[in-house]
Structure 1
Amino acid sequence: MSSVKKFLLGYVAIYMIVAMGFNLTLGPPGMSKEYLEEYKSDHDRYLEITKRDDYKRWKERPKLNLPSERLEASIAFLEEYESRPKFKAEKTRRHRYDILFDVFNMAMVVVLITHFARKPLINLLDGMIAQVKETLDKAKTARDEARQRKSEAQSNVDQLDQVLAAQEAEVEKRIEDMRRESALSTGLSISALNNETADRKLNEAAMARRELKQELVESAMASLIRDVQENPSSDQEAELINRFVNGLEDRS
C-alpha cells in the first residue's frame, strides 16, 4: 500500500472517530431525540411558521408588511416558543456543536492541504526565494555597473578637462606665435619700405641733378653758340668761354 493511501485511510478514520465523538458528547447537529419526543408538534409548527412567505416578508420589513390576525397569532406563538428554557438550551447546544464542528473541519482541511501541498508549497517558496535572490543579485550587479560607469565617466570628464586645458594652452601659444610673426613681418616690411623709399629718393635726386646739369650744359652751349655766331671776335670768344665755365661751376 502506498503512503498516500495509508494517509487517506488514517485521515478518514480520524475524521469519523472525532465526528462520532462530537455527536455523542454534544448531540446531533439538529434537535435532539429527547427534545423532539417532548415538543415535536410545537417544533413542527415552529418550522412551518418560519418557512411561510408572509412571515418572511414581515420578518424582513415589518413596517412595510403589516401582519394579519393569523400572522399575529403565529408571531405570538414563535415568541412564546423561543422563550422556553429547553428551547434556549437546545439552541445553545446546537450553536456550540456547529462552532466546534466548523473548527474541526477547518483543522482537517489544513492537515489535508499541508500533507499534499507541503512539497509544492515548499518548491513554490524556494522558487520565490530564488527569484527574489536573483532580483537582488541583478540589482547589486546593476548598482556596481552604474558605479563603475559613473567612475569611468568622471575619469573621462577629468581627462576631457585636461585635454581642453592643453588645447587651450596650445591655441594661446599659436595665437602668440602668430602675433609675434605678424609683428616681426610688419616691422620688416616697414623697414624695407623705408629703405626702398630712401633709395628711391636718392636715385631721383641724383637723376634730377644729372638732368639739371645736362640742361645747364645744353643751355650754356646754346648761349655760347649764339654769342659766337653774333659776335665772332676772339676776345669775345675768350670771355664767353670764361663765362660759360664759371656758369657751369656755379650751377654745379
Structure 2
Amino acid sequence: FGDKILVNGTVDAVFRPTTSRVRFRLLNAANARTFTFAFDDNRTFSQVATDGGLMEKPLERKSLILAPSERAEIVVEFNASEPCTLISLPLPAGSQFATRGMMARMHSGNDERFDLLRIEPAASLQSSPELPTVLAKIPWLNPSDAAVTRKLTLSMAMGMGMMGRRGSSGGNFFINGQAMDMEVVNYRIKKDTVEIWEITNDSMMMHPFHIHHSQFQILDRNGKPPQADEHGLKDTVKIGPGETVRFIMRFENYADPDTAYMYHCHILEHEDNGMMGQFTVE
C-alpha cells in the first residue's frame, strides 16, 4: 500500500461544484487497496450505477465499498458555500471482506481512514433536476438458459509457502490449483452461450474477481441474493474469505478463436503471480 492517494492523478485534490447535484464516476484504480467511500459529514448519497452501467433505480446510502477495478456512479447533493470531504473509512468491523488469520497483520492498509477529495461548492449553485425513480431496465438472464456451470476455486500459498509452493506452471496464487500459463487456454466458449460461473475463495484474503469480454449479473453470494449495490451489470465482484459467488453471463460479440480473454484477481500482485486464466469465445 502506498502512502499517497491520487484522485485523477492529483495529490490533495480539490473540486469546486457549481451545481446543486453532481454525478461522480468512482473507479478504484489502486493495485491492492479497497476503498470504503463516504463523506466526512456522514451525508447520504445516491448510487445510480455499477461497473457496467445504470442500476434499475437509485440506491440511497452513506458508504460504498469498492475493491480494485470496481466502479460505481453516485449522485451527491451540495449546498452553496458548505464544504465537505470525500473520505475512505476503514472496512467495517467484522466485514466479510476483511483479511483473516495471520494475513490480517500483513494486510492492514484497508483499516486506515484518509481524505480523498476536498469539495468546496460555489457561493451560488445552479439548481439540478431531481433524480428519476426509474433509471434503466436491465434484461436479467435466466439461470435455466445456462449451458454449463463452471466452478473456479481461488487459493494462495500461505506462510513460508508463499516463497516456495508453486503451481504446475509457477506462481504462488492459483485458480483451481493452477497458476497462469500463457500457453494454456483454460476454456473455449461458444459465441452467444449463457454460462454460470461459481467462484469460491479458499484463502484468507478477499479477491476482487474480474472477467474480460462482457458484463455479468450476480445470482447469489453464499446462497443468498446479491447485496443491493451489486444488483446491476458487473465485471468485478468482491469474494471474501470462504465465500462463494455465482454469476451468470452471456458471451456474445467479439468472437475470435485465436485471441484469448482473461479472468483474474484484480489485486495486481495476485494476478501477476498466477491467479489468472484465459478463455476464447468462438
TM superposition score category, shorter chain reference: under 0.3
Give the TM-score of the pair, scaled to structure 1: 0.12
Give the TM-score of the pair, scaled to structure 2: 0.11
Name the one with the larger strand percent: 2
Q: RCO greater where, 1 or 2, for CA within 8 Å and sep 6 or more?
A: 2
Name the one with the larger helix percent: 1
Q: Which has the larger radius of gyration?
A: 1
